[in-house]
Amino acid sequence: MFNNNSFNIISKNIIYLIKTKEIKMRTIEGKWGFFRPEFRLALMLYRGTYFDNRYAISFAFIWGYFYIKLPFRTNLKNGSDMPRYGMDNHNGILWLYCGGKYDNSLGQMRKERMISFYYPFINYEFEYTEVLNNADSWERFTSEEYYEDILKWAKVVKLPYKYKLKSGVIQNVIATCYQERRHWHRKWFPFLKKTITSIEVKFSDEVGEGIGSWKGGTISCSYRMKFGEDMEKTLRRMERERKF
C-alpha cells in the first residue's frame, strides 16, 4: 500500500538520480507500483490490470510517471486486458479511454471505447525500408518479401555471438546479420525526414535469461548502428550492451 515511507523512498531515489545524472536510466519499483522518470501527461483509472482485478491509477504532469496499485478490487474476472478510463499522452499521440465492453469469459475487452489524436508537425509517417545488397547499394524491399527472400540478395554476414547469463554461463551462437535503413517524414512536413540504420540479427539458437521458461529466449532482434560502424562493429557493441 502507498504510504509516507513509500513517498520518502521515492524522494530519496529521485534526488540521488538527479545528483548522479542517471535520471534517464532508472525506474523505481515496489509493491505499490512504480515510478518512471520520463516526460508525459496522463491521468488514468484502471479497473484491473494484467491478471489482477485490483484498481490502479496512473498520473503524470509533464515529468515523472507514477503507476499505483489500489487496495480495492473490481467485480470483474482476472484477465489480460481490463477496462481503463482517462487520458494519456505519449509518442506524440493523445489517447482518451472510456472503458468499453469487457467479456468475463475471455478475460479481455471485446470492444474498447477509445479515441486517439495525432499531433500535427510532431509525428512521423513511415515511408519505406531499404536493405544493403551484395553490390553495396541500397535496395527497397516490399512487405511481401519474407526473411528468406531478403537473404537471397542482401549483403549478409555470419558471425559468432556470445551472451553471458547472470549465472555466468556463456551462450555461444551464430548471428546472421544484414543492414537495414528505414525512412520517415514529419506529418504535414514531408520535407523533414528521419532515417534510422540498423542491423537485423537472427541467432542460430535462443539466447537470454528466458530460455527454459514460458517466455522463451530471443531468436532475432535489431540494433541501431552508429556513424562509421559496419555490421560487425555494431554486433560487437550489442554483445557488450544488450541484455535479453
Tens-place pLDDT, residues 31-87? 888 998 888 889 999 988 888 888 999 999 988 999 999 998 888 888 888 888 999
172-192 residue pLDDT tens: 999 999 999 999 998 888 888
Q: By the 8 A CB rule, do 101 and 111 touch? A: yes
Alpha-carbon distance of 152 to 231, in angstroms, equals 18
Same domain for 43 and 148, yes or no, is no
Are residues 146 and 112 part of one domain?
Answer: no
My answer on whether 12 and 111 are in the same domain is yes
Can you point out the beta strands (E) in the chain? 28-30, 33-46, 54-73, 84-90, 93-103, 108-118, 124-132, 138-140, 156-164, 170-186, 189-207, 218-224
11 and 112 belong to one structural domain: yes
Do 130 and 219 share a structural domain?
A: yes
**Considering 79, 102, 118, which residue would you say is the last residue of a domain?**
118
Range of the domain at 171: 124-241
Domain boundary among 100, 118, 136: 118
Q: Do 104 and 169 fall into the same domain? A: no
- This prediction has a pTM of 0.58
For residues 173 and 163, the answer to whether their CB atoms sit within 8 Å is yes
pLDDT-derived band at 9, boundaries 50, 70, 90: low
Residues 149 and 94 in one domain: no
Q: Give every CB contact of residue 228 below 8 A, 6+ residues apart in sequence.
A: none
Identify whether residues 147 and 68 lie together within a single domain: no
